[in-house]
């Protein structure tokens, strides 16, 4: 990761500079951060900067190993963006609205860089060489050749408003040149594409490259507010023709979309819908078996549903919607490796966070406000991810939203977060952005690494989107559930109590109808971790009257007090109801349902067995405190998972990348 010295130098570089100042870069590093106006932004993939000893320097003014023509004089391969007077991030953000994707027509990024750098500039210009801000090699390594503040020469009239990337891909399939290519090109998949009316037999991209394209795009969307997570579409299909007015589009485009001469066809066989799924769809906060993204086809959704529910219900605790003692539990617990990444389920604004621990359990969390459009309806919902492990605010912190807090003006936010206080924020996060890591819980039967995940809304889902859900109004129940149909599903012996053993029996038992009913339940209730659930009210509950006051206080101190985060200030800041009454969903059901509806897929749900009815309050004379205090006889084993999808293996040395020069394939 970048060193502290590296970030100090970047902070100095962020100071306003005159437009004519000579370009300066950060200290060489092979980390995971890209550079925009001298500031680092983490991508989560291997990045090699232009002045690293293994990098490719777009600032050098002479050709590479070549003389003659334009190579006999110095010539910059970049220019100044229109509208940039000072080299600041704010001015850059006000200008950039596009990300232009190219394939390079080469077989590795070393060959691509030489081809661009030595090329005679088209259009009769006097300069020498072309450029792109990024190159992505066949192994997924991201090379940055210029600070994003520069105007790279890659996409004609779009250069001032865009960031450009050359993705390593030969482009057109030509069996006659196969003997010149590395062996992997013999088995690389191909697709037939029609672009601007011409048909091409073209090479597809490698999974590692898709991973890097998506990671880089997510980061750029976070940096540039004017750039939207959209590609040119019409009636749900990607447009593969030149746009009538390319400058008017804000989002992700190919060279084919912006070339007014209609001679360019890159990025060729790129799977645009794969990019869109990653940017506009939903992802699981942690990897669940083989799934990181929530799928968009019926068969894959059914497979993901089975894996997700198994992953959240295999434990002995943390079920939705109740905890032992009939206390509300608004989310599910997801198992994962200790320290595994936790990511944003979809794009939104991170509105609050806390970094804290109590009695060996993480009380750290992030709260995100999401606003997505499905079937013509705008849905606002909140996701809460708790029991996180958050690294301390520092120069080398890899978590993007925490990196933002390292700005000099954010000292107050850093201090609040360091003190363990709920910190009100407004940080943009993209789908799949790193939020933190899997933390630990040490409380009764809950032991080991896990993430608490919940989703709630202020209102019911609009239109027909609530199909598959069953709403129960428990807004008058307080911190303990009093809904007869809900309690009766879990209460095995008829004592109106719900113990840990009874919860486990339902979720691990043979009666699937009960589990399915609970998975589809939507509970309107007062959130259990809001300050409306105060100690005075809790110890006065009739249901707890059989416990001593000391034990009631003890239960509150374990089950509620450490996790309280919601107060009036948060309601005002995030647009949440002040009475703290919300609709809580099983978050896995919610994501799977929205993913299905967004792609017009119908996944079946069983018949209802829940009704919305009240229950007379009854004394819980046998509230078992041991469910909250006594660890299990045997601790759960560390979760074993396959390697994460798209694992990055790191870059090669430049001398390990063969220089193979071939004819260009990016023209018709």
Does residue 619 sit within a domain?
Answer: no
221, 359: one domain: no
Of 364, 435, 358, 355, the closest CA to residue 393 belongs to 355
What digits encode the pLDDT tens for the residues 16-44?
A: 333 333 344 444 445 889 999 999 988 88
**Could you say which DSSP state residue 648 is in?**
-
- Residue with the larger pLDDT of the pair 288 and 341: 341
What digits encode the pLDDT tens for the residues 404-417?
A: 898 888 999 999 99
Domain count across the chain: 2
306, 405: one domain: yes
Distance in angstroms (rounded) separating the CA atoms of residues 279 and 530: 32
421, 275: one domain: no
Q: Residue 522 maps to which CATH number? A: 2.70.70.10
431, 364: one domain: yes
Residue 364: both structure tokens together: 């750290």
269, 347: one domain: no
Q: Give the pLDDT band (50/70/90) at residue 610.
A: low
Does residue 637 sit within a domain?
Answer: no
Distance in angstroms (rounded) separating the CA atoms of residues 382 and 351: 10
Distance in angstroms (rounded) separating the CA atoms of residues 388 and 29: 29
Distance in angstroms (rounded) separating the CA atoms of residues 550 and 570: 31
At CB < 8 A and 24+ separation, what contacts does 211-214 make?
A: 211/45, 211/140, 211/645, 211/646, 211/648, 212/43, 212/45, 212/136, 212/140, 212/141, 212/142, 212/648, 213/101, 213/136, 213/165, 213/167, 213/275, 214/275, 214/278, 214/279, 214/432
- Output the DSSP codes for 406-425: TSGGGHHHHHHHHTT--EEE
**Picking from 22-36, 37-51, 122-136, 364-378, which range would have the lowest pLDDT averaged per residue?**
22-36
Strands 98-103 and 251-254, how do they pair?
parallel
CA separation, residue 195 to residues 189, 255, 263, 284 (Å)? 19, 11, 10, 34
Distance in angstroms (rounded) separating the CA atoms of residues 266 and 106: 12
Does residue 222 sit within a domain?
Answer: yes
203, 327: one domain: no
Q: Give the pLDDT band (50/70/90) at residue 100.
A: very high
Distance in angstroms (rounded) separating the CA atoms of residues 219 and 433: 8
Does residue 664 sit within a domain?
Answer: no
Sign of CA dihedral 229, 235, 236, 239: negative
Mean pLDDT of 544-571: 91
Within 10 A of 106 (CB to CB), how many other CB atoms are there? 28
Range of the domain at 546: 286-598
Q: Residue 40 maps to which CATH number? A: 3.40.80.10
Q: What is the pLDDT of residue 15?
A: 33
* Contact between residue 360 and residue 442 where contact means Cβ atoms under 8 Å apart: yes
Sign of CA dihedral 465, 469, 471, 475: negative
368, 244: one domain: no
517, 544: one domain: yes
Q: What is the pLDDT of residue 234?
A: 85
Q: Give the pLDDT band (50/70/90) at residue 620.
A: low
395, 487: one domain: yes
Of 581, 571, 567, the closest CA to residue 534 belongs to 567
Q: Give the pLDDT band (50/70/90) at residue 386.
A: very high
262, 361: one domain: no
Does residue 609 sit within a domain?
Answer: no
298, 219: one domain: no
Of 535, 576, 577, the closest CA to residue 556 belongs to 535
Whole-number average pLDDT of the chain: 85
| Res 446 pLDDT > 60 | yes
- Residue with the larger pLDDT of the pair 177 and 599: 177
* Contact between residue 270 and residue 254 where contact means Cβ atoms under 8 Å apart: yes
Q: What is the pTM assigned to this prediction?
A: 0.72
Where among 572, 598, 624 does a domain terminate?
Answer: 598
Q: What is the pLDDT of residue 124?
A: 61
* Contact between residue 385 and residue 436 where contact means Cβ atoms under 8 Å apart: yes
Where among 560, 577, 598 does a domain terminate?
Answer: 598
| Res 114 pLDDT > 80 | yes
Residue 440's SS3 state is strand
Does residue 153 sit within a domain?
Answer: yes
**Torsion of Cα atoms, 555 then 556 then 559 then 563, to 10°:** -160
Of 277, 145, 139, the closest CA to residue 209 belongs to 139
| Res 454 pLDDT > 70 | yes
Sign of CA dihedral 53, 57, 59, 61: positive
Q: What is the pLDDT of residue 253?
A: 97
Where among 598, 613, 637 does a domain terminate?
Answer: 598
Backbone angles phi, psi at 80, to 5 degrees: -100, 130
Does residue 189 sit within a domain?
Answer: yes
Does residue 615 sit within a domain?
Answer: no
400, 545: one domain: yes
């Amino acid at each position: 990761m970048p060193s502290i010295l590296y970030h100090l130098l970047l902070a100095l570089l962020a100071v306003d500079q005159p437009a004519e100042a000579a370009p300066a870069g950060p200290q060489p590093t092979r980390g995971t951060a890209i550079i925009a106006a001298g500031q680092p932004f983490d991508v989560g993939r291997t990045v090699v900067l232009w002045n690293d000893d293994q990098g490719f320097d777009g600032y050098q003014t002479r050709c590479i190993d070549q003389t003659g023509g334009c190579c006999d004089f110095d010539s910059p391969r970049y220019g100044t963006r229109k509208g940039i007077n000072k080299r600041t991030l704010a001015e850059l953000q006000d200008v950039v609205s596009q990300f232009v994707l190219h394939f390079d027509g080469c077989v590795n990024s070393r060959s691509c860089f030489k081809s661009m750098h030595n090329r005679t500039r088209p259009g009769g210009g006097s300069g020498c060489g072309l450029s792109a801000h990024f190159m992505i090699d066949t192994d997924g390594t991201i090379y940055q050749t210029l600070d994003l503040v520069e105007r790279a020469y890659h996409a004609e009239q779009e250069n001032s408003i865009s960031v450009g990337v050359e993705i390593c891909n030969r482009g057109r399939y030509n069996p006659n040149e196969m003997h010149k290519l590395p062996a992997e090109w013999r088995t690389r998949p191909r697709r037939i594409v029609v672009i601007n009316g011409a048909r091409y037999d073209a090479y597809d991209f490698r999974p590692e490259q898709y991973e890097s394209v998506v990671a880089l795009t997510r980061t750029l969307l976070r940096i540039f507010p004017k750039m939207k997570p959209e590609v040119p579409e019409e009636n749900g299909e990607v447009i593969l023709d030149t746009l009538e007015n390319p400058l008017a589009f804000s989002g992700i485009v190919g060279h084919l979309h912006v070339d007014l001469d209609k001679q360019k066809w890159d990025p060729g066989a790129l799977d645009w819908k794969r990019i869109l799924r990653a940017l506009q769809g939903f992802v699981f906060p942690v990897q669940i078996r083989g799934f990181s993204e929530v799928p968009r086809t019926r068969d894959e959704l059914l497979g993901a549903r089975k894996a997700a529910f198994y992953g959240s219900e295999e434990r002995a605790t943390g079920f939705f919607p109740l905890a032992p003692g009939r206390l509300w539990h608004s989310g599910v617990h997801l198992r994962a490796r200790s320290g595994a990444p936790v990511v944003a389920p979809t794009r939104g604004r991170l509105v609050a966070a806390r970094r804290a621990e109590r009695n060996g359990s993480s009380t750290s969390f992030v709260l995100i406000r999401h606003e997505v459009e499905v079937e013509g309806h705008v849905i606002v919902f909140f996701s809460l991810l708790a029991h996180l492990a958050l690294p301390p605010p520092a120069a080398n912190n890899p978590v993007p939203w925490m990196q933002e807090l390292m700005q000099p003006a954010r000292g107050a936010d850093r201090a609040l977060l360091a003190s363990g206080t709920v910190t009100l924020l407004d940080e943009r996060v993209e789908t799949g952005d790193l939020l933190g890591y899997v933390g630990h819980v040490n409380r009764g039967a809950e032991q080991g690494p896990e993430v608490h995940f919940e989703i709630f809304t202020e209102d019911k889902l609009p239109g027909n989107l609530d199909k598959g859900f069953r709403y129960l109004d428990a807004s008058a129940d307080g911190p303990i559930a009093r809904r007869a149909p809900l309690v009766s599903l879990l209460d095995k012996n008829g004592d109106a109590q719900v113990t840990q053993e009874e919860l486990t029996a339902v979720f691990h038992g043979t009666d699937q109808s009960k589990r399915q009913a609970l998975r589809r339940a939507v509970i309107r209730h007062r959130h259990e971790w809001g300050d409306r659930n105060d100690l005075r009210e809790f110890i006065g509950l009739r249901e707890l009257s059989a416990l001593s006051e000391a034990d009631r206080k003890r239960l509150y101190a374990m089950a509620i007090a450490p996790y309280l985060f919601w107060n009036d200030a948060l309601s005002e800041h995030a647009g949440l109801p002040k009475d703290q009454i919300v609709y809580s969903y099983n978050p896995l059901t919610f994501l799977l349902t929205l993913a299905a509806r967004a792609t017009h897929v119908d996944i079946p749900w069983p018949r209802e067995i829940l009704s919305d009815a009240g229950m007379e309050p009854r004394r819980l004379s046998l509230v078992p405190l041991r469910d909250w205090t006594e660890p299990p006889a045997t601790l759960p084993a560390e979760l074993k998972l396959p390697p994460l999808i798209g694992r990055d293996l790191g870059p090669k040395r430049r001398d390990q990348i063969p220089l193979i020069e071939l004819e260009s394939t990016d023209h018709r």
